[in-house]
């Protein structure tokens, strides 16, 4: 199974991301736009793993401190590629966002998973293979809004014909500071 951990977004944030896609669509001659239900922020890409590793992934994501926080979208950007650019909504690398990505990566490594060593550039991919190269000769439009982050989801990605479909397998909910983690049972709590 091809797996990754991602932050899903609520409807209001998805509306804003879809509005940003419309800015691109209005200028692009061509492009493959991510369907609304596929829009997410990847925290850790795991690649191909057997189902027998799901328990260890569950342990890793449950082990990290995860208070809810606000992610800050702060720009539209692109990675230039031959065959068309990848356009994305970028997030400010705030201490809370970097902390959650770092602690998840560390927990995964402790469970024996190997992760790519590339620098974390937090982004939500909006469209791929976008042409022409210079969509906004007069300057890229601004993008600035906050988005509540309340969960991390383990996703399985499957190709269905030309489409990628993502299936949530595990969800870790954020826990407000000062409250008990939701995954601790009352029995465990009493024995602490
Ligand atoms: P992307 O949106 O920038 O392509 C599922 O493919 C998710 O995992 C996507 O959000 C993708 O990022 C991300 N990802 C990170 N590293 C990847 C890799 N080496 N191959 C494919 N997807 C990767």
Under 8 Å between Cβ of 92 and 123: no
Q: How far is it, in rounded angstroms, from Cα 177 to Cα 159? A: 39
pLDDT at 30 over 50: yes
- With a 6 Å cutoff on the Cβ, whether 38 touches ligand 1 is no
Q: What is the average per-residue pLDDT within 50-72?
A: 97
pLDDT given at position 12: 98
For the residues 124-129, what does the mean pLDDT come to?
Answer: 98
Nearest residue to 79 (alpha-carbon basis) of 130, 149, 5: 130
For residue 125, how far is its CA from the centre of ligand 1 (angstroms)? 9
Average pLDDT over residues 43-68: 97
Res. 137: pLDDT tops 90 = yes
pLDDT over threshold 90, residue 168: yes
For ligand 1, atom 8: residue with the closest CA: 45
Q: Confidence class of residue 188 from pLDDT cuts 50, 70 and 90?
A: very low
What is the rounded CA–CA span in Å between residue 58 and residue 171?
9
Over its C-alpha atoms, the chain yields an Rg (Å, rounded) of 18
How high is the pLDDT of residue 183? 55
pLDDT at 181: 57
- Name the residue of 1, 2, 4, 77 to mutate for ligand 1: max ligand atoms within 8 A of Cβ: 4
Atom of ligand 1 at shortest distance to CA of 86? Answer: 3
Task: Assess whether pLDDT exceeds 90 at residue 178.
Answer: no
Nearest CA residue ID for atom 22, ligand 1: 45
| Residue extents of the structural domains in the chain | 2-190
Q: What pLDDT is recorded for position 123?
A: 98
| Residue 125, ligand 1, Cβ within 6 A | yes
Nearest residue by C-alpha to atom 10 in ligand 1? 42
Predicted TM-score (pTM) of the model is 0.92
Q: How confident is the model at residue 192 (pLDDT cuts 50, 70, 90)?
A: very low
Class of domain 2-190 as given by CATH: alpha beta
Q: 56, 111 in Cβ contact below 8 A?
A: yes
Q: Measured in whole angstroms, how far is the alpha carbon of residue 134 from the centre of its chain? A: 26
């Amino acid at each position: 199974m091809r797996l990754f951990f991602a932050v899903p977004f609520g409807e209001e944030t998805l509306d804003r991301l879809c509005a940003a896609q419309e800015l691109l669509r209005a200028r692009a001659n061509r492009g493959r736009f991510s369907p609304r239900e596929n829009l997410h922020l990847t925290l850790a890409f795991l690649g191909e793993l057997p189902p027998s590793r799901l328990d260890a992934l569950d342990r890793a994501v449950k082990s990290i401190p995860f208070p809810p926080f606000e992610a800050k979208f702060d720009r539209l950007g692109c990675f230039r590629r031959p065959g068309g650019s990848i356009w994305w909504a970028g997030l400010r690398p705030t201490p809370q966002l970097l902390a959650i990505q770092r602690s998840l990566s560390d927990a995964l490594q402790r469970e024996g998973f190997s992760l790519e060593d590339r620098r974390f550039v937090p982004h939500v991919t909006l469209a791929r293979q976008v042409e022409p190269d210079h969509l906004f000769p007069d300057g890229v439009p601004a993008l600035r809004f906050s988005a509540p982050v309340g969960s991390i989801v383990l996703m399985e990605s499957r190709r269905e014909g030309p489409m990628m479909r993502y299936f949530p397998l595990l969800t870790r909910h954020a826990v407000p500071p000062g409250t008990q983690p939701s995954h601790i049972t009352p029995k465990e709590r009493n024995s602490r």
